[in-house]
Structure 1
Amino acid sequence: MGKNKTFGILFIVTIIFLSFSLRGKLSGEKFDSKKWKNWTESEMEFSTRWDMMNSLRNNHDLKGKTKNEIINLLGKPEFEETNSEFSYYLGYSGRGINTGRLIFYIGLDGKICDFKVYQG
């Protein structure tokens, strides 16, 4: 195998590895609690919450917080399905007409045990 071919294969493998490693780690916009709380779904701000999601996930320990701590950070949730689940509307994802929600799950101890971001 030639030197150029080996370099090419190594380069491609490195790019693939980096794309999987960095997936979900690159922030679009730094999380801003005030901006999140005051967000309105307008043409200028369709994806504001989506753009802040990676920063929110990567820079705030959401698991283990109480519902009141999350409300203090993100404002009143748009949806409260049950006593153990509440969520926030994220608006358009910037990928076509997909929208999403950030859903929090409350454990028996009254603290956030998990959260998920749904797009669809």
Structure 2
Amino acid sequence: MNSFKIFSFIVILLFAVSCSEKKDFNSIEWKNWVESEATLHTRWLMHKDLLKKYELKGISKDSILNLLGEPNKQYSDEFYYNLGYSNRSVDSATMIITFENDTVIDIKVSDG
């Protein structure tokens, strides 16, 4: 029974640590990100800091391109940035930036 308690504690501890991972936003690292096994969560972790530190609503499309680089998908009024995998899902996450008159009006994050 004692080994079960120790095992349970370790599992809970690992889960808590993985859920609290943080990574500071870095524009160069964001732009040069290549999805691989070693970097699956890099953009996911950075996007939280990005949204906390930068007021993206109201800035221009050119400013977004300067900050984040070319989107993975682009439609006339939306940029889609692949965030890799969130810690909560087995599906890839996406950040969608919506523009009106070349100005950001909305940011949504879908994690699967």
The interval holding the TM-score normalised by the smaller chain is 0.7 to 0.9
Choose which of 77, 82, 93 in structure 2 pairs with 1:89: 82
Is residue 113 from structure 1 mapped to residue 109 from structure 2 by the alignment?
no
- Cα displacement (A) at 1:94: 2.4
Is residue 46 from structure 1 mapped to residue 40 from structure 2 by the alignment?
yes
Contact map agreement 2:89 2:111 (CA 8 A) in 1: no
Helix, strand or coil at the partner of 1:100: strand
CA offset digits 1:65-120 (Å, max 9, x no partner): 11110010001011012x1111101111123412111101111x320011100111
Runs ≥4 residues deviating over 2 A:
none
Amino acid at match of 1:42: S
CA distance in 2, matches of 1:69, 1:96: 30
How many pairs are equivalent? 93
Choose which of 23, 26, 37 in structure 2 pairs with 1:32: 26
- Answer with 1 or 2: which has the greater Rg: 1
Taking a change above 3 Å as real, the CA distance of residues 114 and 96 of structure 1, as seen in their structure-2 partners, is closer
CA offset digits 1:3-61 (Å, max 9, x no partner): xxxxxxxxxxxxxxxxxxxxxxx771100000100111111100000011110000001
Amino acid at match of 1:88: Y
Amino acid at match of 1:111: T
CA distance in 2, matches of 1:77, 1:91: 13
Identity %: 40
Contact map agreement 2:97 2:104 (CA 8 A) in 1: yes
Is residue 103 from structure 1 mapped to residue 96 from structure 2 by the alignment?
yes
CA distance in 2, matches of 1:118, 1:36: 18
Helix, strand or coil at the partner of 1:91: strand
Tell me the TM-score normalized by structure 1: 0.72
> Aligned Cα RMSD in Å?
1.5
